């Protein structure tokens, strides 16, 4: 199947695949019979916990790096987009493998499901080599696009070179976590992420300060956590928790299987890479004001994850329920799931808005800041958080569209919000010469795209349900 066909997949085809996937996860038929609220939270809470662990994983480095030096914090803000490109490749590969494994298990083809993971391992090795080359040859020129400060360039290079050249732990951890999730096992991936996060938290202060490795210590702590997660997952693959038989060297490598993996994986890579491109463009706008503006955006993205990640976690719980009820043409349970998810997402984001708008000093208290950076970061948090509730509505709509198999619409929504609206609006606001105006580009983009997609989502809903 071509990528275009994967994006424009027919609803009837998607219904069949959803039913196969749910059949794998749910032998007790709880999808059809459990009360929706109970079902939603039983499936969503483990995913939310995993997402919160990931948020913790992301923020720990930044907290300790801010305590090390402001130059190091600025450097992290500059290199994050390139680091996210590597992560996007890993996430795309993992998503492609997980989807195909779920489909094959649902069809009863257990041997082929194991072959999919084996193919995924080979592709992951290729992805790792690509990221390593990117880290070696692109890092310094990339940082040089935004600053000519030799100290900052060196700090960013030291961090990113380690993270990108020793990225095998991250890539394999994501691949194996998705493989377990494809089997309906949410516990093993959660434990893997917890192990990695705790390793990172413990090693960060030891390596950064006690061993005086500075920003390189933060990078080593990060990759150590990823490697330990991978080792744990490899151990779990050899236990009863894994029903797949994976033979990397014995299976037959086929281009058809590779194509099936990338049909889902490539759009996922693109979706995640859009955020990296957006951050690069925003950094290019913000650096004209000050280094503190770039650092503030970096800090914002770290702390906002504590509210966005739970919403994405509940999306993982809502998606299979929505897909199941779409396949069963059960409008009532579909709408009840959608409403439960919407209320939960809006409630979480409302708490985030309150925290960022009225208590930014508490949110920022974990970071070491000078008297110049603190007011800039405070204004950024207060202004950007206006968009949180609107973003929650957009995320729910995206989840609904994906449950219908409308990947193109959800991708366009992301492109509109992050590239078509956000970047031009931020640039135009920057022309006034006031940094505070630029932060308003985020709520403007969220509100405009939400208003545009509400009627689109409603029409899509009515087009996909049979009365």
Mean pLDDT in order along the chain per 10 residues (467 residues): 32 37 45 88 87 81 89 92 94 85 78 94 98 95 92 96 97 93 81 92 95 96 97 94 85 90 83 89 96 96 93 84 82 95 98 97 92 96 98 94 77 90 98 98 98 96 82
Give the three-state DSSP class for 453: helix
pLDDT at 243: 81
Distance, CA of 321 to CA of 193 (rounded, Å): 24
pLDDT at 8: 31
* Element of type H or E holding 84: helix 70-106
Distance, CA of 36 to CA of 101 (rounded, Å): 27
pLDDT at 13: 35
Contact 424, 452 (CB under 8 A): no
Contact 169, 223 (CB under 8 A): yes
What totals of helices (H) and strands (E) does the chain contain, helices first?
A: 20, 0
């Amino acid at each position: 199947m071509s990528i275009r066909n994967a994006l424009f997949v027919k609803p009837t085809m998607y219904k069949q695949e959803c039913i196969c996937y749910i059949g794998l996860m749910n032998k007790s038929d709880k999808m059809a019979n459990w009360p929706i609220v109970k079902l939603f939270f039983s499936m969503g809470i483990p995913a939310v916990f995993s997402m919160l662990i990931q948020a913790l994983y992301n923020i720990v480095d930044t907290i300790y790096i801010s305590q090390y030096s402001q130059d190091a914090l600025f450097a992290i803000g500059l290199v994050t987009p390139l680091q996210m490109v590597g992560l996007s490749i890993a996430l795309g590969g993992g998503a492609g493998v997980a989807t195909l494994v779920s489909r094959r298990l649902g069809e009863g083809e257990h041997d082929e499901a194991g072959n999919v993971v084996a193919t995924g391992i080979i592709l992951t090795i290729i992805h790792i080599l690509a990221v390593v080359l990117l880290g070696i040859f692109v890092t310094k020129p990339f940082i040089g696009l935004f600053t000519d400060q030799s100290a900052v360039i060196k700090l960013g290079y030291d961090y990113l070179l380690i993270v990108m050249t020793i990225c095998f732990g991250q890539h394999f951890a994501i691949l194996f976590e998705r493989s377990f999730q494809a089997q309906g096992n949410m516990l093993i991936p959660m434990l893997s992420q917890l192990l990695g996060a705790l390793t990172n938290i413990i090693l960060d202060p030891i390596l950064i300060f006690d061993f005086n490795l500075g920003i390189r210590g933060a990078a080593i702590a990060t990759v150590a956590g990823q490697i330990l997660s991978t080792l744990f997952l490899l151990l779990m693959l050899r236990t009863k928790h894994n029903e797949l038989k994976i033979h990397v060297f014995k299976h037959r490598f086929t281009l058809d299987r590779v194509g099936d993996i990338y049909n889902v994986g490539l759009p996922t890579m693109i979706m995640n890479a859009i955020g990296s491109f957006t951050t690069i463009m925003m950094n290019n706008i913000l650096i004209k004001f000050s280094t503190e503006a770039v650092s503030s955006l970096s800090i914002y993205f770290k702390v906002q994850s504590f509210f966005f990640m739970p919403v994405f976690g509940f999306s993982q719980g809502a998606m299979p329920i929505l897909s199941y009820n779409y396949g069963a043409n059960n409008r009532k349970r579909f709408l009840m799931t959608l409403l439960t998810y919407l209320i939960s997402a809006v409630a979480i984001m409302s708490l985030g808005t309150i925290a960022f708008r009225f208590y930014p000093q508490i949110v920022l208290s974990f970071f070491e800041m000078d008297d110049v950076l603190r007011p800039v970061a405070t204004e950024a948090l207060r202004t950007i958080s206006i968009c949180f509730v609107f973003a929650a509505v957009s995320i729910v709509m995206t989840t609904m569209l994906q449950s219908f198999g409308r990947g193109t619409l959800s991708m366009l929504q992301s492109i509109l919000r992050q590239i078509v609206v956000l970047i031009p609006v931020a640039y135009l606001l920057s022309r006034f010469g006031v940094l505070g105006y630029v932060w308003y580009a985020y709520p403007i983009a969220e509100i405009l795209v939400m208003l545009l997609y509400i009627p689109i989502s409603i029409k899509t809903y009515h087009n996909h349900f049979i009365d």
